[in-house]
A and B are shown apart, each in its own frame.
Chain A
């Protein structure tokens, strides 16, 4: 074993990315491609009554302006297409920013300019776009993907009534957008009834099936290519309608067409985190044992789709509580459909972890101790014992590193210069998915190893980790491995979403690599030209690309030599069952709040996570840095503003939708890991992790602000004006 798995291996694709050699979907040259640009609805509700395309058509370079009158009839795919309708199939307007026409021109500039010349007339109705303005009362939507929106355990209402201590509070968070740095891009190229898409997608195979459904094509007529992704965060999990409209345009025009969304269009066309309300009621004993947990959430739904994406897993699963009632309600509004956003579960988790902090103060009990007293080793819904759960160890590690024992048990007790200093914490938790995947490994006569798997690297380090796995499984150095991913021509793998990539691909990649290794060893020991001829296969070790007889290390061969003598490449595949599960952790935060101005700085963060085996400490730490930084954004600044009168997004750009900058990130960040392989893992001891380290951050910061100032802010983001 070279033992690369678990080490902080630098990204194998790092050089390609920083030198520009990495071709992202919109970079890939497609000969003869035209450029599309969408015209989108100015109004939030109503109907298109007329579209005058004549001025746009007369514009230089314009090839076509297509509207609902021109579109082929498409089939609305089901999950993971979360929109409920396809625009430009009729004249109805469901939300601002809905595509109403596509301009196709020789250059992108011509298309953009001509798009401003398309004159659209509407019949408009006054929209309702925020929860406060909803026409109907919140309701319980039907099950989403067979999962109900209501969960009950014991008798929560009675337990709450009889509880020794009760906490009841309401929390809210605004709509928020993913804002990957790379805009959504699609290039459609038809060859008869066969379609190739260069697509910014978190799942090439999911895009393939979505598009095949929409166009009623045999699935294998669609090929989707996405070797690199400039961030997705859930926005590129679903395949959205602009991909369908662009592909339809390419088919009508019999030319490849490329479409890139503008930044502003990304605020209405590719999902978001829904505006959200939450009421939490906790009942507990004076000793701090939870006896009742009631959580009712209200999410902003669209008029075309009633899926609840921000579900309440942590309320159901994280703490020991015999009496539970979770309701996930929604209201229908004239907005674009929301969808998954890193992490969907954090939205409701903010309320739970803040309410627990409030309970801790009510009980005069340390918040870490409160969580320990409600720790559980059992899945609250199945009653089964968790095979591997080291959350208590996370509390130990992080509180030790943070110096939590020095915390003053009174709000507003620490002042440093002009600032109050506060410490807060929250548990982190995230479920992770696992999707069927298949990998193939080929060894060439030059000793090079090619790994093929239709997964994606959404920026998290997939290329690197799967290369580490192959290196270890085969005993070859990293630099002979070429990983090919992000193409439906490769063996099927799942969506890179739900923190599922590691859990989905590690096992199959390892099995394929081991099978390839065994096949090469088998060839060597059967080949009388090999120095290893007739050596028992279990006495052959592979190291640095060599095959070595363990009892006589002078007898050795190499992958290249064996395969070269065999005369053809050796290929093996791997697949197998994958299991979903949970990852855990804790985040401690220190904030400084200006005593008179209310400005907040996050100055120190310590995290500890139990994610099973850490496959690559560097990329895992990268997830923590990203999660903490984005969590700061959610806590302190990020919010999408809808104009209540027009339904328009008022801040659809990175100038007015504030995301954290480097100066907002904590100067000190320590990311600790338990690093105990999970014996139940189907991924070499690892578990899915990516979304976990954002989940507790907003609550930890809010709790720290309370500790600093005695002010409890339950509505995100916690801007300066709320602390004056």
Chain B
């Protein structure tokens, strides 16, 4: 690990000011990912701005929905009664993440900004366009069992690892930021970017912008929402494939549905096409299977991850049919 400077911010404006005036500075909150990346030499920051003292940890519910402070801890949000009662997919996605120790430390803002678990990204001896632009992608011809089948490019096929982001994508959440240019509200669907030929740019955040809150709108689908995560061990592991589904159902009639997926895309993956197969129709096994086929249309599997194409369709069916009372 390289030496770095450190400053503790008094408030949000102070944090942005401190980050803005030091090129290459990064915010640190829980530090559960950033410190690993710095210790492993994957990221170097000359300066860290500690935002833990900022008053951004509150979770509040209003008529319009849920507002989660950027510094709320994962555990705190997962245990919040409003989250559990009216946005269960959020609580489930959070509880399926990491370990209790990590959830005690890690913040919502940090969770959204965690970096991919691609082994080549995290190994400084390997070529990785995301870590060193232009150096190549070792995963394309290497070990890519964990990699994306949707949204990849010849530069990068790494998945985004956050479960929370998948749930927020299904719930049409938006990310509130404060930066040198003031505040912005970014729909989560626009927050994450496809890798294209610039995989090092993962989000639409601008320099020195700080996530202050995540807003989750109230919606008829949110209360009937669930998260299914499949992984190679029982806990403390990232998704091989995950599905977040939110369903507004009358009898078997699907009034509305939101579907998002983890583990298969280079960003949290929303599929409007799959939703369209189900919205405004009666829920049946056949329609769910058709939605799955539509979801993976255009999938580009690699030598080790072809199974994800099949597995994600099964996971989708499992979750949606379960939510619809058909399984």
What residues of chain A have their CB less than 8 Å away from a CB belonging to chain B? 42, 96, 109, 112-113, 116, 264, 596-599, 601, 636-637, 641, 643-646, 648, 650-653, 655-656, 658, 660-664, 719-721, 724
Can you name 20 A-B pairs with beta carbons within 8 Å?
A: A116-B41, A264-B40, A636-B233, A643-B143, A645-B138, A645-B142, A646-B142, A650-B119, A650-B123, A651-B119, A653-B122, A655-B117, A661-B234, A663-B235, A720-B232, A720-B307, A721-B240, A721-B307, A721-B311, A724-B310
List, in ascending order, chain A residues with CB within 8 A of B232's CB.
636-637, 658, 719-720
In Å, the complex CA distance between A69 and B306 comes to: 49
From 122 to 159 in chain B, residues with beta carbon under 8 angstroms from any chain A beta carbon are 122-123, 125-126, 138, 141-143
List, in ascending order, chain B residues with CB within 8 A of A653's CB.
122
- A650 touching B120, Cβ below 8 Å: yes
Given contacts A719-B232, A720-B232, contact A641 B119 (CB under 8 A): yes
- B233 touching A664, Cβ below 8 Å: yes
What residues of chain B have their CB less than 8 Å away from a CB belonging to chain A? 1-3, 36, 40-41, 117, 119-120, 122-123, 125-126, 138, 141-143, 230, 232-237, 240, 307, 310-311, 314-315, 317-318
Given contacts A116-B41, A645-B142, contact A109 B318 (CB under 8 A): no
Partner of B3, one of A113, A596, A651, A724: A113
- A648 touching B125, Cβ below 8 Å: yes
- A648 touching B234, Cβ below 8 Å: no
In Å, the complex CA distance between A560 and B51 comes to: 64
- A646 touching B138, Cβ below 8 Å: yes
Query: How far does the Cβ of B122 sit from chain A's closest Cβ, in whole Å?
Result: 8
Given contacts A113-B3, A596-B314, A656-B119, contact A648 B126 (CB under 8 A): yes
- B2 touching A113, Cβ below 8 Å: yes
Partner of B142, one of A644, A658, A660: A644
Partner of B141, one of A597, A601, A645, A720: A645
List, in ascending order, chain B residues with CB within 8 A of A656's CB.
117, 119, 122
- B311 touching A650, Cβ below 8 Å: no
Instruction: Decide if the interface of chain A is mainly helix, strand, loop or mixed.
Output: loop
Query: How far does the Cβ of B27 sit from chain A's closest Cβ, in whole Å?
Result: 22
The A/B interface has a contact count, at CB < 8 Å, of: 84
Given contacts A112-B1, A643-B126, contact A724 B311 (CB under 8 A): yes
List, in ascending order, chain A residues with CB within 8 A of B314's CB.
596-597, 724
In Å, the complex CA distance between A587 and B307 comes to: 31
- A597 touching B318, Cβ below 8 Å: yes
Identity of the chain B residue whose Cβ is nearest the Cβ of A721 in the assembled complex:
B307
- B138 touching A660, Cβ below 8 Å: no
Partner of A113, one of B1, B120, B138, B307: B1
List, in ascending order, chain B residues with CB within 8 A of A719's CB.
232
9 additional contacts (CB under 8 A) given A598-B311, A661-B236: A96-B125, A116-B41, A637-B232, A637-B233, A650-B126, A655-B36, A656-B119, A656-B122, A724-B314
Identity of the chain B residue whose Cβ is nearest the Cβ of A655 in the assembled complex:
B117
Given contacts A109-B1, A112-B1, A656-B119, contact A720 B240 (CB under 8 A): yes
List, in ascending order, chain A residues with CB within 8 A of B318's CB.
596-597
In Å, the complex CA distance between A40 and B118 comes to: 22
In Å, the complex CA distance between A721 and B307 comes to: 6
Partner of B125, one of A42, A109, A721, A724: A42
List, in ascending order, chain A residues with CB within 8 A of B117's CB.
655-656
List, in ascending order, chain A residues with CB within 8 A of B119's CB.
641, 650-651, 656
In Å, the complex CA distance between A96 and B310 comes to: 36
In Å, the complex CA distance between A475 and B30 comes to: 56
In Å, the complex CA distance between A113 and B234 comes to: 36
In Å, the complex CA distance between A112 and B40 comes to: 10
- B138 touching A643, Cβ below 8 Å: yes
In Å, the complex CA distance between A641 and B240 comes to: 17
- A597 touching B311, Cβ below 8 Å: yes
- A596 touching B123, Cβ below 8 Å: no
Given contacts A646-B138, A650-B119, A721-B311, contact A599 B1 (CB under 8 A): no
List, in ascending order, chain B residues with CB within 8 A of A724's CB.
307, 310-311, 314
In Å, the complex CA distance between A645 and B303 comes to: 14
List, in ascending order, chain A residues with CB within 8 A of B122's CB.
653, 656
- A646 touching B235, Cβ below 8 Å: no
Query: How far does the Cβ of A418 sit from chain B's closest Cβ, in whole Å?
Result: 8
Partner of A658, one of B2, B123, B126, B237: B237
